[in-house]
Amino acid sequence: MAQPNTQTAEYWNKEFQVTQDDLDYVFSVLLETETPLSIDEIALIAVRYRLSHPQESVSAQPDVAKSSYDPTQVYKVGDKFLFPEFGNKPGEVIDIRPGDNPDYGDYSVLEVKFAGSRIAEFASGLTVSLTPQPEEESQEAPEDREPMSAEEIFIEWGGGVAQTFEESLHNQPDLVRLAGRWFPKSLLANVNSGHLNLAEAILDMNGGGPMTTRDIMEQVGMMRGINDRLAEFSLNYGLQEDERFDEVGPSGQVLWFLHGIEPEGVLHLPVRLEYAPISSDAGMLSEELREIEMQIGDEHTELLSGRILQTQSANVTLIYPHLRSGTLPLSPALRSLFPTAYQSPRIHFTLVDDETGEETSAWVVRPGGYVYGVGGFFERHEIPIGGYLTIERTESPGRVLVKAPVRKPRKEWVRVAHMEKHHLRFEIEQRAIAAGYDDLMIMVIEDQEAVDELASRLLQRKVPLEETMAEILRDLAAGSPQGNVHAKTLYSAVNIVRRCPPGPIFARLMALPEFEHVAGPYWRLRLGEGGA
């Protein structure tokens, strides 16, 4: 007896498509159990359904012969048979020609057409074996093997089934997905304005949150006598559809917060992080500048947009806008440390100081591309512009460790930014530094309020980026023995008065005549443009 198609990898990995019968059956299970199901649970149900319906396998197709291909048999045009080596796919002979290999005697070559217009050739009428057979070893034929159970098939190939099903479920208007589970919207338990007002009051009494759905339900005593999963799912849906509530849980958790009392730096983008996109040609960058751009990991770098790096830790080098705002850039590596079940715009988590054990409430703000609530750590450890930080994953998805290479303060020669007649000036001076830093990016600011006023003035006047770059480059070069400035140093300094990722800055270094490339990643103002 031929092995059913449903016992093969090709069927589940390549041929499987969700049918209306599959969807109807899944809906019937959801209706019967009144329980929201995960996509893996739905995929396993679908596998069981397919195995219980033999019409889904090719062996039950009425227009295909049940016999399997045998190279010793003689066939004619129009014959149909199965190919066990191709997962029992049916094929039809569409042409026959004589064989031309004298080692095999007289035989024919069949041209066989499969579904999807695929055509392949096979031998027919052979009297000599094409492959040597082992003398004493026999191998169990596929059709003699014990059929795999639905659970075994799901373990082996269920990932592809789940992905295919999820894509199909998104197109079903009556299905809703919350926290990784699916259920018909029309069958949700009733969640009315009274329930939601009570939930708001409970969250308000608990500092706005975060709270789990079950905790909210228990404290207000709502939705008793309903299947626990369905009650929780229904309340989650009601909270999600009400703008007063924000789902802020990391991956694997559903946590609710009152949106209106979230911190100001979460509700609104901090002023110093505001970036008006600047057009630039990324193709102009040299390989060296492109590599530096990737190393910096600015959240606005287009080359990094959409990338997610699977990692246990992320390194950050601070620039002034983030130091001033008490934030971290949400780089690709950092994004992977804050997974969420369905890409919530804001995620609440606990930041743990690795040095002191102090815990701080912090937030990931995906739309703004930053992590808010790190200012206390910066102040505690006196992190400078250009300071190094490491953020590490913990066993709990809602907690991360933050580390800095701290030490006893010692005098270092660093760039110090001063305000002079509404202009930013840099001097090399000694300052006590208590943390590790990138010596190309470190800066110390004497008067942050004055610097922020200058940034606001430049923004109001719409001063072109290249004009700001030229003035800063000139001043930085004056403090360098060779009169040259590293591209990374220029990026750090420009961001003191104007938020800008490295791409537009580096592109202008490459494109504009006033900027002269010296060697490697070093630049200066060209003679006659205010340079030395």
Per residue, the 3-state secondary structure of 313-371, as one string, reads EEEEECCHHHHHHCEEECCHHHHCCCCCCCCCCEEEEEEEECCCCCEEEEEEECCCCEE
Cβ-based neighbours of 492, under 8 Å, separated by 6 or more: 319, 320, 385, 386, 440, 441, 442, 443
Angle at 518 between CA 512 and CA 519, to 5 degrees: 120
Are 60 and 51 spatial neighbours (Cβ–Cβ below 8 Å)? no
Classify 500 as helix, strand or coil: coil
Classify 473 as helix, strand or coil: helix
Classify 407 as helix, strand or coil: strand
Residue located via tokens 């048999």: 73
Helix (H) or strand (E) holding 494: helix 487-497
- The rounded distance, in Å, linking the Cα atoms of 513 and 510 is 8
Are 326 and 350 spatial neighbours (Cβ–Cβ below 8 Å)? no
Predicted local confidence at residue 115, as pLDDT: 67
Instruction: Please give the model's pTM, rounded to 2 decimal places.
Output: 0.72
Cβ-based neighbours of 226, under 8 Å, separated by 6 or more: 189, 234
Q: How far is CA 203 from CA 148, 215, 452, in A?
A: 50, 10, 37
Predicted local confidence at residue 144, as pLDDT: 53
Structure tokens at 300: 């606005």
- The rounded distance, in Å, linking the Cα atoms of 47 and 16 is 10
- b vs e for 422-436, b when ≥16 Cβ sit within 10 Å of the residue's Cβ? eebbbeeeeeebbbb
Closest CA to 235 of 222, 250, 252: 222
Supply φ then ψ for residue 6, to 5 degrees: -70, -5
Task: State whether the Cα torsion 245-250-252-253 is positive or negative.
Answer: negative
Bridging pattern class, strands 370-372 and 327-329: antiparallel
Cα 203 versus chain centre, distance: 30
Q: Which domains does the chain have, with CATH numbers?
A: 5-59+147-174 (no CATH), 61-130 (2.30.30), 188-262 (1.10.10.10), 300-407 (2.40.330.10), 410-525 (no CATH)
Closest CA to 188 of 222, 237, 153: 237
Q: How far is CA 253 from CA 178, 207, 342, in A?
A: 11, 19, 11
Structure tokens at 507: 């592109």
Predicted local confidence at residue 60, as pLDDT: 38
Angle at 429 between CA 427 and CA 431, to 5 degrees: 135
Predicted local confidence at residue 138, as pLDDT: 44
Are 476 and 300 spatial neighbours (Cβ–Cβ below 8 Å)? no
Predicted local confidence at residue 63, as pLDDT: 46
Task: State whether the Cα torsion 447-451-454-460 is positive or negative.
Answer: negative
Predicted local confidence at residue 145, as pLDDT: 62
The rounded average pLDDT for each run of 10 residues, N- to C-terminus, in the chain (532 residues) is: 69 84 87 86 88 53 58 83 68 83 77 72 73 47 66 84 86 82 85 90 92 87 75 88 90 87 94 89 86 90 59 89 94 75 78 91 92 93 93 86 88 91 89 92 92 92 93 89 90 95 93 91 78 46
Cβ-based neighbours of 205, under 8 Å, separated by 6 or more: none
Tell me, letter by letter, the H, E, C secondary structure of 58-99.
Answer: HHHCCCCCCCECCCCCCCCCCCEEEEHHHCCEEEEEEEEEEC
